[in-house]
Amino acid sequence: MDWARQINVKNPAEIALMREAGRVNALALAAVRELIEPGVTTADLNAAAEEVLRKHGAYSPFYHYGRPPFPASICASVNEELVHGIPGNRKLKEGDIISVDCGAVVEGYVGDASFTAGIGELSSTARKLLEVTEKALYIAIEKMRVGNHTGDVSAAIQQFVEGRGFHVTREYTGHGVGRQMHEGPQVPNYGKPGTGVPLEAGMTIALEPMVLVGTHRTRVLPNRWTVVSADGSLTAHFEHSIAVTEGEPLILTVL
């Protein structure tokens, strides 16, 4: 990926459009969440998200993204699949965890968010993994303030996750978001405080802790999309798109 990407600071009108894209994205994710139960396929989840997007005149920026073109509107990543799982006829079963990542484009602006959920009774490791990964996202959001650098956000994620015995991915990162799904700056899930890009009001960034139980190393399946933990251990992923303001960080991808 080319990360000499431009940082596009948004004006209030653009932030309002991004908030609407984020709201529609949250509706799609909520519809998916309601369906998650044993026996449901990941293709069913994709169809549910697409229906909500269509109803709101939106579409997913994931569809036909990249090479080979991504064939669906959500990423559905089960258990050891960290990100970029391709929806299909896999049925969810008791004890699985699934990350659902969805995007929505509304009037040319992108919302990007994900959650990970468990199906039925989970192992204690899976439960802890979900808690730690989601908490890491909110700790990162708290750091999205003028006066901080992107490295403060990255370091907060890494310190929290590693402090609880888990690992953060190195190859996949948070990113600016706006008219493009991926803009600058890049916000890795590891880093040093005080480094990187100074945060400015109007910056819009998708933060996305990606956490692995056994190793930070990953590999990509032969479908050239699905990223799995190198050791087959469980993984989780939570994401919100955030606007930096003069005050509190604004979460764009909520209802």
Q: Which residues bind Mg ion (CB under 5 A)?
A: 101, 112, 114, 206, 239
- At closest approach, how far in Å is the CB of 200 from Mg ion? 20
End-to-end CA distance of the chain: 31
> Is 3 or 37 the residue whose CB approaches Mg ion more closely?
3
> Is 92 or 100 the residue whose CB approaches Mg ion more closely?
100
Q: Where are the beta strands (DSSP E) in the chain?
A: 74-78, 81-83, 97-106, 109-118, 167-168, 174-176, 183-187, 204-207, 210-212, 218-220, 227-229, 235-237, 240-243, 250-251
Please say whether the beta carbons of 215 and 230 come within 8 A. Answer: yes
> Is 152 or 183 the residue whose CB approaches Mg ion more closely?
183
| C-alpha distance from residue 127 to each of 96, 130, 131, 236, 238 (Å) | 11, 5, 6, 10, 14
| Burial profile 146-170: b = 16 or more Cβ within 10 angstroms, e = fewer | eebbbbbbbbbbbbbbeeeebbbbe
247's CB contacts (< 8 A; 6+ apart) are: none
> Is 157 or 194 the residue whose CB approaches Mg ion more closely?
157
- At closest approach, how far in Å is the CB of 165 from Mg ion? 25
- At closest approach, how far in Å is the CB of 112 from Mg ion? 4
- At closest approach, how far in Å is the CB of 207 from Mg ion? 8
> Is 2 or 121 the residue whose CB approaches Mg ion more closely?
2
- At closest approach, how far in Å is the CB of 104 from Mg ion? 11
Task: Give the 3-state secondary structure of residue 210.
Answer: strand
| Spatial CA neighbour of 177 closest among 165, 186, 168, 169 | 186
> Is 80 or 239 the residue whose CB approaches Mg ion more closely?
239
- At closest approach, how far in Å is the CB of 114 from Mg ion? 5
- Tokens describing residue 23: 């709201």
